[in-house]
Each structure stands twice: as C-alpha cells, then as structure tokens.
Amino acid sequence: MSAVTINTNPAGPVSSTRSLLIKWVIALLVPILVFNFVWQGDYLINNVILGFINPADALIGTGSLVQATIFIIFFYLVILAFAGYLVAADTGRRGMVEVWVDVLVFAVLPILLIVLVNNNLIIGLALCAIVWPIYFYIRRRVPFLARSQALSLPKSISVLNTEQKAAMVRRAKLGGFAFGLSLAIIWLIVDLLYYIAGAYPTELLVVTAVRTVFLIVAGYFLGWLGGIVAVRRTLSANGNPTNGSDNATQSDANERRRRQSLLLASSRAKEEVQEVVPNDLPLRSAGARRFFLILLIAFVLFYPVLDPFLFGYGTAGRLAGYTDAGYYVILALGLNIVVGFAGLLDLGYVAFFAIGAYAWGIFGSTQFGRLTNIIIQPNVLSWLFWPMLIVTALIAALWGVILGAPTLRLRGDYLAIVTLGFGEIVPVIFLNLDKYTNGTNGIVGVRSPAFFGIQWTVINHVPYYYLILALIALVIFANVRLRDSRLGRAWIAIREDEIAAASSGVNLVRTKLFAFGTGAFFSGIAGAYFSAKLGNVSPDLFSFNDSVIYLAMVVIGGLGSIPGVIVGALAVYSINLFILNNLDSIASDPSSFLYGIDQFIIHFIPSFTFGNIRNLVFGIVLVAIMIFRPEGLIPSARRRRELHQAPEEEAVELGSLDVTTTDPGFEAEVRIE
C-alpha cells in the first residue's frame, strides 16, 4: 500500500546541506573527470588557444576546433547549472552510496564500454543495453541496494513558503559554487603537475588562471540558475504551483489547494509527485530531464564537429549511417500516429513510403520530362525539392486517405490484413506500370536538393545530416502538437474504445481518415528524402519486411510515446542494419577475437556469416522484448499505468476528498491513499 501525503506544514530538508553537497559534487565529478580523461576535453580548448597564439602550432583546422570548443564550454556550463539544480532538488533521503553506484553504472560504464570497443558508439551502447537490464535485475534482488526501493517514490509533496524557496536557491548556489570550485582545483593541480613535468606551454598558464576563476564564478551564478529551475517546479504555499506570489487571498488559495489535492488523487499522484521538487529521485525528475535534453540536443547539433575527436577516423562512414537511420525515425513517427495514437494496426506502411519516394522520383528526374513533355532544367529541379517535399507529402496523404477508406468498417485483424494487402499491391503496381515508373529498373538520376551554396552530395554527408535533423525536428514538433490537440485526443479515444468515443461525439470516419492521412504525410516526407538521397528508386526497395521493421520500431520503442518511438527506431536500425553487418567486418580481421568464433561456426554451418543471421538475432530480440517488456522501451505514461498497475493502487479513499476547507482537520494533512 502506498500513501502519498501532502504536507502543508513541512519540516526543512531531511538532511544537512553539507552531506548533500558531498553527495552530488562527487556524483557529478566522477563521470566528468572520467570523460575528460578519456577524451581530453581541455586538450581541445588548449589547442584552440594555441592556434590563436601561434597559428603554426595548431594541429587541427581552426574552424571545427572553434565549434568543438564552443560545445565543450556550453557543456560545462550546463553541468554547473545542473549541479545547482541537483543540490536544490534533493531531499537527501536516498543514500549517497546508492546515487554513486547509479551514476557509476549509468554514466561511467558507458564511457568505459565505448572506449573498450575501440570508440565505436553504437556497439558500446549495445553492450550497455545488455548490461543495464542485468543491473536492474540485480538491484531488485540485492538487499543492500533494495533498501532504497521502499523509498523509491517520494512519500510527501512539500508545499513550500518563500523562506524555504530561498533556502533552496541558497543551497543551489552553494552546490554550483562547490562543484565549480572542485573542478577548478582539480584541473589546476593537473595542469601544474604537467607544467612541472615540462609538458605544458607557459602561455597556457594564463588560460589556466582564467579558467579557474571563471569556473568558480560561473559555478556560483549557474548554480543560482539551477536553483531557479528547481524553484519553478515546486508547490508553493499559496497553492500556485509555478511561482511564489503572495497575491492570492486565503480562500482562493484553499480552493486551489483542494483542487490540487483532488487532482493528485489516485494513481496519477505518484507520477505528479516525481515531477515536483524537492523529491527523492532528483536525477529522474522533470527538471533533470530538461538538462539532459539540452545536453543531448547540443550534442546532436554539434556532432559532425565532435566526431573526429571522440571517435577517431571514419567520421564520414558514421555520418552516412546516421543519415540513413534518420528517415527510419520519421517513418516510425508517422506509423506511431496510425498504430500508436489511433490504434489502427497498419501492416502495409511501406506502401505510403513507396508512393512518397516515387513521387519525388518521377518528378525529380528526367522521367517527368519524358511523361509530360515539360522539360525542367536539372538545377532548377534541385531547387524545386523544397516545395515538392510538401507536395509529395500531400500526395502520400491523399493516397493514405484513399487506401484507408475501405478499412473503416473493419476491426482489428481484418484491418491488418487489408493494409498488408495494400503494402503488397502498391509495389506490384509500381513494378508493372512501367510506362510511368520504368518497371524493375526503376528511375535513376533522381536529383538531390540544392540550397544557396550547400552541396548535397554523397561525398560529404554533413549537409544531409543537418537536413535530416531539421526534418526530424519538424516531424517531432508536429507530432507533439498533434498528440496534444483535439484530434490527437480523438485518436487516443478511438484506440481505447471506439463505441465510447463515438458516443462522446468523435466522428469515427473523419478521425480514422485523418490518422491514415497524417501518417502517410510523414512517410511521404521520408520517401522524398530517401529517393533524393539514394538517387534512384525501384520497386524492390519496398517490401513487407520493411513494414514489419517499421512496426517493430514502434512497438519496441513504446506504442504512442514519441521519445520511445525515436529510441525504438534507432535501436531497431542498430540491431537490424548495423551491428551484425559490422560484426562481419570485424570477424574477417584475423587478429580479432571474433575471427576464431567465426571459423568455428563455419565448420558446422557453411553458409554462416554474421550478416546472414541478422534476421535470426532480430527475431529473437523481438520475441524477448515482447515477453519481458511488452510496453516497449520508453512507454507512454498511459501505457505504463495500464500494464504495470496493481489493482489496489487504484483505491481512493473518497471520504477524505469530501472534507471541506473549513474543517479543522484539513490544514494539518490531506491524506490520499
């Protein structure tokens, strides 16, 4: 049984500021230092300064160096603010050692594993993905670590008054300051040691001094920023959850508090409680997620510049892989609308992808001229990519509506088989109507896009990388807005119970057609990008296997959850199309340990290669994930509640909610069980 209480007369933070400081400063310091040691971040900054002082000394080109340095400075600034937030947000109830072990496993271990596999990011992350479930399992079993499980959810939300908020901000400033100070001191010592050993140029001592002072000062102010972020997410004594204004009258405040307590009733209470600061799991709170998101976005934006420093040679190959993975993300997001939001099982999604690809394929190549006798200069065609992106998407959406229309009366599995049928019919049509689509040979010479001065070629993948990033950002934004709109809620209503939705006034036909159309719209975007990048398009690129892969991406990632689907897309791409193919190239190298294993297996099964068993591994992974985690990797909140909720958590003691604000017992504690 779990009770969540709202304390309107809270005590101060449970543990002393000093232990909080020690806990978080060390928790953050260890990964940063390991990261620094492994990838030598300050080496970059030093190189830039050296490059400015003495251009001949610079070892690498200044342009990308400067960008990389900007990223690194931004990174440390965010970490300083994060330190402040963590110190402010923590109640100190969870022990130090548990947090340190968590940080070790989730932050330090990936760095070490990635280094272990020769700086290969994907394989390192794959190893982490194997280690982490084992760690979760161990954590649940081992009594020493399980002690914290009883406290795994915060038991009370404190309602804070202005003094307590000021105390929080003070803690945050202290935290940022302490973290900046420790970082500065450690680096100072390291630099001095290098200087004494003679390996450190004298000019850079100025840099060291500046950096030390800067870190300490910046730590103070950024800690303050972190504190402000934390304070914004508290419940204030006046009942206003966002800021501590004293303007509300007392009865208004009571009314709001009562509404809040009603709102926090039943199982949502636990989720809301995790979002509100101070809490016992600050690393998992919504504020911390903001920081992680900022760091992730910065990392992804700066990735082409950082890649040579982090992962060595082969940047071009890696970027090529990521630009290929990108359109899978868009496809998964599109399918998420049809299957995840609206609950319409679509097994033929590849048909819309094919329509999008062929639309740009026909228009963006000489085929258009052949068919309609309107000749457009190839260079102009490249510029026309941008408006055609929308047009292609709209064409795909139109076909989505057309192909969705016969399925409206069908339920469940019949819908699946009809969509599967469309997934088969469309490539056959493209194959056989070769007057328009050039049949099996497909259309070659599809133009890639053009913009002022930027070359989209297959030699340098960076422009494609930013193009796909921009497209993914737009699609994510569209999806988030769709999900939170009336239409999105209508979709979710249809998914849960069609009859109830129809009784509540949801127009089933329109909503379902919209779902198909919108899903096809996004696949049209992906299709245009795909054919522009590939340069040709032919019917054998689209098959039922691909539909299965897209569906697997959505289901493994988490049906209906946008971050889940993105992670699912990347995970499935890595497993299915990346890891095993790369294992082949590693295994062919006689010096690696895989070579022996490979030769051993070939004795028994002559046709064995790692690339060959790709489907075998993928199939086993699918079955395993469905058995052990059917809600997906990052499930939407609703799904998690559905699949893992124990029935007794739903009981709400209704009697307490009837307590009115004038009762004497109300002020002390409102109990919701």
Site residues (CB under 8 A) for another protein?
A: 339, 345, 406, 409-414, 416-418, 420-422, 424-425, 428-429, 431-435, 498-500, 544, 548, 551-552, 555-556, 559, 605-608, 612-616, 618-623, 626-627, 630, 642-643
Q: Which of 402, 407, 317, 392 is nearest to 359 (CA)?
A: 392
CB of 429 to another protein, least distance (A): 6
List strand residue ranges (DSSP E) for 195-273, in order: 235-236
Contact, 8 vs 668, CB < 8 A?
yes
CB of 604 to another protein, least distance (A): 10
Backbone angles phi, psi at 158, to 5 degrees: -85, 135
CB of 639 to another protein, least distance (A): 9
CB of 624 to another protein, least distance (A): 8
Q: Which residues contact 156 (CB under 8 A, 6 or more apart)?
A: 4, 5, 6, 7, 10
Quick one: 452 or 628, whose CB is closer to another protein? 628
CB of 513 to another protein, least distance (A): 15
Paired tokens of 627: 């058995």
Quick one: 217 or 425, whose CB is closer to another protein? 425
CB of 610 to another protein, least distance (A): 12
CB of 459 to another protein, least distance (A): 33
How far out from the chain centre does Cα 642 lie? 22
Q: Which residues contact 350 (CB under 8 A, 6 or more apart)?
A: 423, 426, 427, 542, 543, 544, 546, 547, 550
Give the DSSP per-residue string, 505-525. Answer: T--HHHHHHHHHHHHHHHHHH
Quick one: 474 or 623, whose CB is closer to another protein? 623
CB of 625 to another protein, least distance (A): 8
CA angle 40–43–49, rounded 5-degree value: 160
Quick one: 314 or 611, whose CB is closer to another protein? 611
Contact, 539 vs 353, CB < 8 A?
no
Angstrom distances, CA of residue 254 to CA of 165, 240, 411: 20, 10, 49
Contact, 214 vs 118, CB < 8 A?
no
Paired tokens of 154: 């915060």
Contact, 536 vs 445, CB < 8 A?
yes
Quick one: 74 or 544, whose CB is closer to another protein? 544
Quick one: 33 or 431, whose CB is closer to another protein? 431
CB of 11 to another protein, least distance (A): 44
Quick one: 19 or 599, whose CB is closer to another protein? 599
Backbone angles phi, psi at 7, to 5 degrees: -90, 120
How many of the other CB atoms lie within 10 Å of CB of 646? 9
* Cα dihedral across residues 445, 449, 453, 458: positive or negative: negative
Q: Which of 175, 278, 171 is nearest to 234 (CA)?
A: 278
CB of 564 to another protein, least distance (A): 14
Quick one: 222 or 351, whose CB is closer to another protein? 351
Three-state secondary-structure class, residue 635: coil
Quick one: 110 or 564, whose CB is closer to another protein? 564
Angstrom distances, CA of residue 92 to CA of 16, 23, 86, 245, 279: 8, 9, 10, 27, 8
CB of 615 to another protein, least distance (A): 4
CB of 268 to another protein, least distance (A): 21
Paired tokens of 396: 């795909």
CB of 433 to another protein, least distance (A): 6
CB of 644 to another protein, least distance (A): 12
Paired tokens of 69: 């340095």
Q: Which of 395, 339, 299 is nearest to 552 (CA)?
A: 339
Give the DSSP per-residue string, 577-607. Answer: IIIHHHHHHHHTSTTSHHHHHHHHHHHH-TT
Three-state secondary-structure class, residue 158: strand
Q: d(Cα 86, Cα 278) in Å, to the nearest integer?
A: 9
Quick one: 255 or 584, whose CB is closer to another protein? 584
Quick one: 16 or 612, whose CB is closer to another protein? 612
CB of 672 to another protein, least distance (A): 29
List strand residue ranges (DSSP E) for 356-496, in order: 443-444, 450-451, 454-455
Paired tokens of 629: 């985690």
Q: Which residues of 226-240 are buried (b: 16+ CB within 10 A; e: fewer)?
A: bbbbbbebbbbbbbb
Q: Which of 610, 661, 588 is nearest to 255 (CA)?
A: 661
DSSP state of 377: -
Q: d(Cα 162, Cα 175) in Å, to the nearest integer?
A: 20
Contact, 631 vs 640, CB < 8 A?
yes
CB of 548 to another protein, least distance (A): 5
Quick one: 439 or 535, whose CB is closer to another protein? 439
Quick one: 113 or 342, whose CB is closer to another protein? 342
Quick one: 215 or 418, whose CB is closer to another protein? 418
Quick one: 37 or 414, whose CB is closer to another protein? 414
Quick one: 84 or 560, whose CB is closer to another protein? 560
